[in-house]
Chains A and B, each alone.
Chain A
Amino acid sequence: MIPHPNGIPRPHGTQQPVLEVRNLVKHFPARGRGLARRRAGEVHAVCDVSFDLYPRETLGLVGESGCGKTTTARVLLNLQPATAGHVHYQGTELTQLSRKAMQRLRRELQIVFQDPYAALDPRLPVNEIIAEPLRIHGLYDSSGRADVRELLGLVGLRPEHGNRYPHEFSGGQRQRIGIARALALRPKVLVLDEPVSALDVSIQAGVLNLLADLQAQLGLSYLFVSHDLSVVRHIADRIAVMYLGRIVEIATSDELFSAPAHPYTQALISAIPLPDPRKERARERIILTGDVGNPADPPSGCRFRTRCPLFAEHLSDPQRHRCTTEIPALIDHTQTHRSACHHTELSRSPALSGLSVVTGDDLPRSARSTRGPEGR
């Protein structure tokens, strides 16, 4: 096991992580607009991202568009080369592996994509789609057909569905086919990249239940990438929140929702509408100003400062100076809860964050809002 730069908390006691990500960096060249498309700097998609994934746990990776969550997932599977940093999978360093060596490991690290319409070959019957990874890895033998049938059953489809083509299925069923394919090689780690975002809510629920069952049954570890905090709250044991390429907070799901420490997490949670009229109307919101910064030219120091309500309203000039010049490091609040803010004592103080403890059926509230509850 490699040491964590800041001594990562061990949420699972002495258990060894299956996947260790350390200081992962991914830059993309940014091209100019002209005909020559000259290199015009770099997009800092992922910056210094570190986390562990433990056996049988679900780690949610959340953030808004462009925060680098999908890039993180792709880079850690070596689908795109890392610019810097390390990914350890059970003692093997993935970032340095040859294609061939990586291919062998792909049996154990699989991915499910967001769009079940784009991820399945329309010209292959479902049996062949699910058999393909087995064939590639030379595992499709005399019991191959039975294996495929079993996989179909595992995801809630019938054997005769195997003879049909992807277009004959609904979105939810296609996503089940994608999951069956990912499970064909009996992986240990499943990266789920927005797996239910394209599905209607009544269909999404069945796929989420299926993922929970499969994890219990097969002992899988999930890295669950999503923009939807309600879904992540539902499925994840721990959650990492990303903003402009950096993890700004990581905690157990309960900690994150009961005592969010980073101003961005607080705003994100407060922005999500609750499907409950009385609760929803009694809440106060933190409305952020502006948009996410440009990853090709991220703000200096703390990347969130340009939208941070704490920075805008509650800091002295010397305090602000620190935000603009110094990149905040992740600091520990508990064994399992870390956030990256220079002024955590302020952001966590009830007077400012006002985010009361979310226990059980309670919900976060904020006293810091641009508008009170609507007087309807």
Chain B
Amino acid sequence: MTPVLEVADLRVEFRTDEGRVPAVRGVSFQLSRGEVLGIVGESGSGKSVTSLAMMGLLTGSSQVAGSVRLGDTELLGASDKELSRVRGQSIAMIFQDPMTSLNPVYPIGYQIVEAIRAHHDITRDAARSQAQRLLGVVSIPNPSERMNNYPHELSGGMRQRVVIAIAMANGPEVIIADEPTTALDVTVQAQILEALHTARVQTGAAMLLITHDLGVIAGQADRVLVMYAGRVVEAGTVEEIFYAPQMPYTLGLLGSQPRLDLRRQRLHPISGAPPSALHLPPGCPFAPRCPLAAPVCEADEPPLVATGTGGHLSACHFSDQLVGVAPGDLFRPISQDTPL
């Protein structure tokens, strides 16, 4: 199947007073039509910077290299004019905080109409009825009245629905959702995931779902990328990642997660903290926290390579030793942190 979106060796560096900060270090992936690709990782892993760089939304002190292809169009280095045609039309974005994407001084109906008319030559009235229909699709009650509301008159969940309606407006090929439910309460999160599902089914769009929440990934994603220190350290189907992880970091994440479906049991944390992007260790960036670390790990950063089965990739010198290993086999149920 031809991918709708193809990212190859994406690199992002920020220039700071303290030196160059490599935030994304060679990320590659393909997104197929209608697929949901989850990107999971902790703060600072580079998952959000990846999505911003793809859309050309990083400015100033950043340097972006690599390739981001949407169909036949190269997005990296494209002019603002070309990018404006793509953004909102072929690729739509949904961010964590809906207030950053909505304009506080215009009614929401007006903003949806604008989004439609930016890419389609239709009358204001036609766009209005289209906007009203979209609000209904994302389950906003009384859409015709809500059209006249300003963003501040809506709750956080309602605002995020409006953002989803705008994302759907032009039938995008790709929806990038960056922590779309992180700021929301869990009952509202369930509503928004439902609305995102509807948006995807109705537009047929593929989705890049960026989140730190393993539960959301487990329920929504077809394939998963696990990011650590600016790189993809494991990639596979959602089943491969959750049931047969081949990278110690992924195992550590799963073992750290308190679970609703299990009785109280000891958690297996990862000791230490992720490295600062300013001072990455020379070898595998996870080595200082990894129970499997050997001298080779501190010398060479392992490449992301196939583990044997299909598209399952892992960046670990010892991934073949992780077959059938559970988090508790690898990580100790410690409460004491490894000090600085």
Q: What is the interface of chain A, defined by CB distance below 8 A to chain B?
A: 64-65, 156-158, 161, 168-170, 172-173, 176, 200-206, 208-210, 212-213, 227-231, 233-235, 253-254, 257, 267-281, 285, 287-292, 358, 360-363, 370-371, 374, 376
CB-based contact B260/A202 at 8 Å: no
How many inter-chain residue pairs (CB < 8 Å) link A and B?
Answer: 173
How far is A217 from B85 in the complex, measured between Cα atoms in Å? Answer: 62
B326 within 8 A of A: no
How far is A254 from B264 in the complex, measured between Cα atoms in Å? Answer: 10
How far is A161 from B263 in the complex, measured between Cα atoms in Å? Answer: 35
CB-based contact A292/B267 at 8 Å: no
CB-based contact B157/A203 at 8 Å: no
| A273 contact from B218, B222, B254, B340, Cβ within 8 A | B218
Chain B residues, Cβ within 8 Å of A291: 155, 157-158, 188
How far is A303 from B186 in the complex, measured between Cα atoms in Å? Answer: 18
CB-based contact B261/A277 at 8 Å: no
Given A201-B257, A230-B259, check contact A273 B219 (CB 8 Å).
yes
Chain A residues, Cβ within 8 Å of B258: 205, 208, 228, 230-231, 233-235
CB-based contact B256/A202 at 8 Å: yes
| B185 contact from A64, A257, A270, Cβ within 8 A | A64
CB-based contact A172/B215 at 8 Å: no
Interface residues of B in 28-60 (CB under 8 A from A): 42-43
CB-based contact A64/B186 at 8 Å: yes
How far is A213 from B334 in the complex, measured between Cα atoms in Å? Answer: 10
Instruction: Provide the main secondary structure of the chain B interface.
Output: loop
Chain B residues, Cβ within 8 Å of A173: 273, 337, 340
Given A202-B42, A231-B258, check contact A271 B187 (CB 8 Å).
yes
Task: Identify the closest chain A residue to B249 (Cβ).
Answer: A202
How far is A161 from B197 in the complex, measured between Cα atoms in Å? Answer: 48
Given A170-B273, A206-B334, A210-B335, check contact A280 B264 (CB 8 Å).
no
Of all A-B residue pairs in the complex, the 9 with the closest CB atoms, nearest first, are A273-B215, A205-B269, A156-B336, A209-B335, A205-B256, A234-B258, A64-B185, A206-B269, A275-B214
CB-based contact B43/A361 at 8 Å: no
B242 within 8 A of A: yes
| A209 contact from B155, B216, B219, B333, Cβ within 8 A | B333
| A203 contact from B262, B264, B269, Cβ within 8 A | B269
B271 within 8 A of A: yes
How far is A272 from B184 in the complex, measured between Cα atoms in Å? Answer: 12
CB-based contact B264/A374 at 8 Å: no
User: Would you give the shortest CB distance from B95 to chain A, in whole angstroms?
Assistant: 19
Q: What is the interface of chain B, defined by CB distance below 8 A to chain A?
A: 42-43, 139, 141, 155, 157-158, 185-191, 193-194, 197, 212-219, 222, 238-239, 242-243, 252-271, 273-274, 333-337, 339-340
CB-based contact B268/A205 at 8 Å: yes
CB-based contact A277/B242 at 8 Å: yes
Chain A residues, Cβ within 8 Å of B257: 201, 205, 230, 275
Chain A residues, Cβ within 8 Å of B189: 271, 273
CB-based contact B190/A275 at 8 Å: no
How far is A205 from B262 in the complex, measured between Cα atoms in Å? Answer: 15
Chain B residues, Cβ within 8 Å of A288: 187, 190-191
CB-based contact A161/B339 at 8 Å: yes
How far is A358 from B260 in the complex, measured between Cα atoms in Å? Answer: 10
Chain B residues, Cβ within 8 Å of A287: 190-191, 194
CB-based contact A205/B255 at 8 Å: yes
Task: Identify the closest chain A residue to B215 (Cβ).
Answer: A273
| A281 contact from B186, B219, B256, Cβ within 8 A | B219
Task: Identify the closest chain A residue to B43 (Cβ).
Answer: A200
| A201 contact from B214, B261, B271, Cβ within 8 A | B214
| A206 contact from B185, B186, B197, B337, Cβ within 8 A | B337
| A176 contact from B266, B268, B269, B337, Cβ within 8 A | B337
CB-based contact A363/B273 at 8 Å: no
Task: Identify the closest chain A residue to B257 (Cβ).
Answer: A275
CB-based contact B157/A363 at 8 Å: no
Q: Which of A277, A281, A291 has the most CB of B within 10 A?
A: A277
Chain A residues, Cβ within 8 Å of B190: 270-271, 285, 287-288
How far is A291 from B156 in the complex, measured between Cα atoms in Å? Answer: 9
| A65 contact from B185, B265, B271, Cβ within 8 A | B185
Chain A residues, Cβ within 8 Å of B268: 205
How far is A362 from B158 in the complex, measured between Cα atoms in Å? Answer: 33
Beyond the given A64-B185, A289-B141, please list 14 additional residue pairs across the A-B interface where CB-CB is below 8 A: A156-B336, A172-B337, A200-B42, A200-B274, A201-B42, A201-B256, A204-B256, A205-B270, A206-B269, A230-B258, A267-B187, A273-B219, A287-B190, A361-B261
